[in-house]
Every structure is written in structure tokens, then in C-alpha cells.
Amino acid sequence: MQKKVVVHKDGPRGVHFRRAGPRQKVYFKSDDVRACIVTCGGLCPGLNTVIREIVCGLSYMYGVNKVLGIDGGYRGFYSKNTVTLTPKVVNDIHKRGGTILGTSRGGHDTGKIVDSIQDRGINQVYIIGGDGTQRGASVIYEEVKRRGLKVVIAGIPKTIDNDIPVIDKSFGFDTAVEEAQRAINAAHVEAESVENGLGVVKLMGRYSGFIAMYATLASRDVDCCLIPESPFYLEGKSGLFEFIEKRLNENGHMVIVIAEGAGQDLFTEHLQDMNQKDASGNKQLQDVGLWISHSIKDHFARTNKMAITLKYIDPTYMIRAIPSNASDNVYCTLLAQSAVHGAMAGIVLMIDCMFKFDMQRIIERQNKVVITDRMWARLLSSTNQPSFLHPKDVEEAKKTKSELPTQLLEDNNCNNLDEAHKAGNNSE
């Protein structure tokens, strides 16, 4: 967790969260529960596991057998029939990618959704989705409260981009990073098999480059990782083209990983359709992978410096349309069971299912890679790529005294080697 959640009873006051798990007091009687589950937004590995574990958790732990699936996201509440979910129906679904309930963007009509909840007598709503979905959950909760309905709203954060704040990691992220290795591996094999071979891999990450960063760190075959949080430039001294030339001269091949939201400012200004939005109002991004591949090819053709062979691999949907791996499956189970315990205890609004807390924390901002933090510093030393900070940015950083990568830790509580020798200790 990014917040310190374990505190001493008499410790200073601050933001504390309630630990998830079974409660001594259960609010609902099993027979009274009418639960429903909805999945919204883009796909993510593990959606089916979460659905399965909610259904099985309700049934096996609390004897609840009335669980409905909402078909096709928020709009399914008022435009489609529901699906009956039983442990038998969901038994094998965790082995499949996607969501058996279907999903959608847009179509959030609060009034109609809450009418449907009320008409069907639903008193537990499990909402699985990303930042947009959780904003939707928040307004549903407000409307439920306004109408005085005794309905629990439980939001389970789903974000392959890992862009939801407060939580460290969302389910499906591990699986996506693992699957991305296959694409990076292919790019590496292609690149090292030819003279001056370049492999470019585009990975998801609209505003946050976590998938690209972790996939790069995991792989060790990547020479350069570009993410939305870290600006870069192409031409001139210490620009990307210069770095590519250097790496190709040194190694004869190179792999670049680029997150879909990286460098959008460098090329969208030339395009007319840059303001297109999807049904949920999310800005639709241009294909940065194609653009950068063309730009690199064009640069080498124009400058006549060396002949390169570039292969562009776009595994975007492949990394999210697969079933979740073992570790994500365990995490999905934890989230789903925690949601069930919280809902059965009558905790009215919970997000993350581990804690009951102010919804605002989840929806007020997006989780991003902090490029002055240690993880990005680790990446820079692993790839040995330049930071691409423009001299102008460095000057600006100096002026504002903002920190540049790698914060150094103080070692107050441990001796270093010199001190140990002085004190006559050996290193054990």
C-alpha cells in the first residue's frame, strides 16, 4: 500500500483504513440478499476470477444463492436481461480471458441504473472496473443514499494500466507484464538476427507507464523504455535518435518499449482527429508505436547514417485478453472474498474491498510512475538509457529545486564497511 495502513492504537491520528476480512457482526440474513455483479470499461486478466469468487464466496461462506450478472456493463442495468450466476455456472470461468458478463464504455445513466437496482430488489452491488467505473459507482452510491435504499455498493478496482491510486497494484497487472515478455522476446530475437536490427514494442498505458516500466525491468533485453510520465525528444544532442545510433554502433541491435500514451504531444499536433473520444469520454490516443517506427526509419533513411531493419510489434490486446496467471488469481480471490465479507457486514461503500474509505481518494487522481522515484531510477540504470530530460527541463528542475532521479537514502542505522573495519568487526 502507498499509505501506512498498520498503526498503533495510540499512534498519531491520520488516514486509517479498515482491514478487510470476515466481521463478527453480519448485517444481512442469507435469504434476504439479492446481489448483482457488473463489469465495465476495458478488459483485464482476472475479471472472470473475481466474478467466480464473488459468486462462490457468497454461496459457500454465507449461503447466499441469489446472484445476478448484469449483461454488458452499466447500460445492461436498464437495457438487457440479467444472467443468473451460481457456483456451477461460474465453475470454470477463471480459465477464460475477458468477462463472461460482457463490458462496455459509456451508457452510465444513474437514474435508470438505480431504478433497476430498486425494481429488482437488489441490495448488494459488486462493481468491477477502472477509474471511470468507480466514478460511476460513486454517483450510484450517492443516488442510493438519496433514495434511502439499504444497498451496499462494493467497487473492485480493475485497471491493467495500474492507474488507480491508493492500491499498490491491481489484478491483471502481473499477467499483463508476463505476457508482454513474449512480445519483447520476439522483438529481441528479430532485432539481434539482423544487422542494425531494431525491435519496437508498444504496450498499454494511457496515462501511466507501469506496464512498460515493469515489462522492461523484467526483460533485461530492452535498451530503451518510453512512458507518458517521462518526456523525450527525437532530434539533436542526447535525443532518442542519437541514443539509437549509439546503441546500434555498440551492440548491433536494439529493443525499444513504448507505452501507448508516451510522446503524444510530439505528434498529435499534426493530426486533425486528436480530440476524438470514446463513449466514456476518454481521449482516443494516436498509435505512438507506428509513429515512432516511421520516424526512426525516416531519420535513418534521411541522414543516410546506417541501414537499419525495424520490426514493430503491437501486442496491445493480447496482454489483456488472456486469463489471469497464478499470482493474479490469488489476488482476485482475496479481493472478491474481501468484498463479500464487507458487503455482508453491511459496509455501505467500499472500494478496493480491503478498506472502507472515502471514495474521493480513489477517483480524485491517477496513479502515475514517479520519474524521480527509485523504480524509474532502477529502470534507467538497467537499460542505461538517457533520462531524455531536455537541457531546458534540467534548468527548470534546478530552478524549482525539484529532485532529479535517484534519491539517496541515509544509512543512520547500519555501519558501512569502513566503519565496521574501524570498529574491528568483520562483515558478519
Ligand X SMILES: O=P(O)(O)OC[C@H]1O[C@](O)(CO)[C@@H](O)[C@@H]1O
Which stretches of the chain bind ligand ATP, using CB under 6 A?
40-42, 73-74, 104-108, 129-133, 135-136, 139, 159, 280, 282
Position 205 contacts Mg ion (CB under 5 A): no
Closest by CA position to 391, among listed 237, 247, 244: 237
Closest by CA position to 110, among listed 139, 135, 131: 139
Report yes or no: 172 and 328 within 8 Å, Cβ to Cβ: yes
Residue of 71, 161, 328, 352 marked catalytic:
161
Please identify, among the stretches 15-23, 199-207, 288-296, 380-388, the one whose residues bind ligand X according to the rule CB under 6 A. Answer: 199-207
Position 107 contacts ligand X (CB under 6 A): no
What gap in Å lies between CA 216 and CA 239, rounded to an integer? 20
What gap in Å lies between CA 58 and CA 64, rounded to an integer? 5
119 is catalytic: no
Q: State the residue number with the nearest CB to ligand X.
A: 42
Residue 130 phi/psi, 5-degree rounding, is: -85, -155
Please identify, among the stretches 124-132, 182-190, 227-235, 383-391, the one whose residues bind Mg ion according to the rule CB under 5 A. Answer: 124-132
Q: Of the two residues 66 and 105, which places its CB atom closer to ligand X in the complex? A: 105
Closest CB 381 distance from ligand ATP, rounded Å: 30
Pick one of 204, 255, 313, 343: the residue that binds ligand X (CB under 6 A). Answer: 204
What gap in Å lies between CA 219 and CA 189, rounded to an integer? 13
- Residues between 218 and 277 that touch ligand X (CB under 6 A): 260
What gap in Å lies between CA 264 and CA 86, rounded to an integer? 45
Q: Pick what 57 binds: ligand X, Mg ion, ligand ATP, none; C-beta below 5 to 8 Å, kind-dependent.
A: none
Pick one of 131, 161, 174, 190: the residue that binds ligand X (CB under 6 A). Answer: 161
Q: Of the two residues 59 and 162, which places its CB atom closer to ligand ATP in the complex? A: 162
What gap in Å lies between CA 226 and CA 262, rounded to an integer? 6
Closest CB 379 distance from ligand ATP, rounded Å: 23
Closest by CA position to 257, among listed 210, 321, 196: 210
Report yes or no: 105 and 131 within 8 Å, Cβ to Cβ: no
DSSP three-state, residue 202: strand
Task: Give the count of residues interacting with ligand X (CB under 6 A).
Answer: 11
Sheet bearing 152-157, strands edge to edge: 83-84, 67-69, 35-39, 124-129, 152-157, 349-351
Query: What is the distance in angstroms between the CA of the first residue and the CA of the last residue of the chain?
Result: 33
Q: Of the two residues 179 and 190, which places its CB atom closer to ligand ATP in the complex? A: 179
Exposure on the CB side of residue 209, measured as CA atoms within 13 A: 26
Position 405 contacts ligand X (CB under 6 A): no
Q: Residue 415: what residue type?
A: N
Burial of 233 (0-12, 13-18, 19+ CB in 10 A): middle
Placement of cell 490516443 in the chain = 285
Contacts of 13 (CB under 8 A, 6+ apart): none
Q: Of the two residues 108 and 188, which places its CB atom closer to ligand ATP in the complex? A: 108
Q: Pick what 204 binds: Mg ion, ligand ATP, ligand X, none; C-beta below 5 to 8 Å, kind-dependent.
A: ligand X
Q: Of the two residues 177 and 240, which places its CB atom closer to ligand ATP in the complex? A: 177
356: its cell numbers: 472502507
Closest CB 74 distance from ligand ATP, rounded Å: 4
Closest CB 405 distance from ligand X, rounded Å: 25
Pick one of 57, 72, 132, 263: the residue that binds Mg ion (CB under 5 A). Answer: 132
Q: Of the two residues 161 and 190, which places its CB atom closer to ligand ATP in the complex? A: 161
What gap in Å lies between CA 47 and CA 254, rounded to an integer? 35
Q: Pick what 135 binds: ligand ATP, Mg ion, ligand X, none; C-beta below 5 to 8 Å, kind-dependent.
A: ligand ATP
- Residues between 41 and 100 that touch ligand X (CB under 6 A): 41-42
Q: Of the two residues 53 and 131, which places its CB atom closer to Mg ion in the complex? A: 131
Position 129 contacts Mg ion (CB under 5 A): no
367: its cell numbers: 496513479
Residues that bind Mg ion (CB under 5 A): 130-132
Catalytic residue numbers, as ranges: 161
Residues that bind ligand X (CB under 6 A): 41-42, 130, 160-161, 204-206, 260, 278, 320
